[in-house]
Amino acid sequence: MKESHEPKTSRIKVIIEHAEDGYIAYPLGMKGVVVGQGGTYEHTLADVTSAIQTHLREFGS
């Protein structure tokens, strides 16, 4: 049997809200504080994605 070295992927719902000074994002159902922010929707999504990846790497699911 061949072992896969591809990263495990899963779907996490993220809420992105428009604020006065840009956007803020947070994932639903994750324990702890995981937040992303940015001046554009795309930057905010990238920021919260990075925050989620770091959180999962450091603390698990």
Q: Where are the domains of the chain?
A: 14-59
The pLDDT value given to residue 17: 97
Looking at residue 51, its amino acid is: A
The pLDDT value given to residue 26: 94
Burial classification of residue 25, based on how many CB atoms lie within 10 Å of its CB (0-12 exposed, 13-18 middle, 19 or more buried): buried
Per residue of the chain (61 residues), give pLDDT as tens. 566 566 667 789 999 999 999 999 999 988 887 899 999 999 999 999 999 999 999 888 6
The pLDDT value given to residue 5: 63
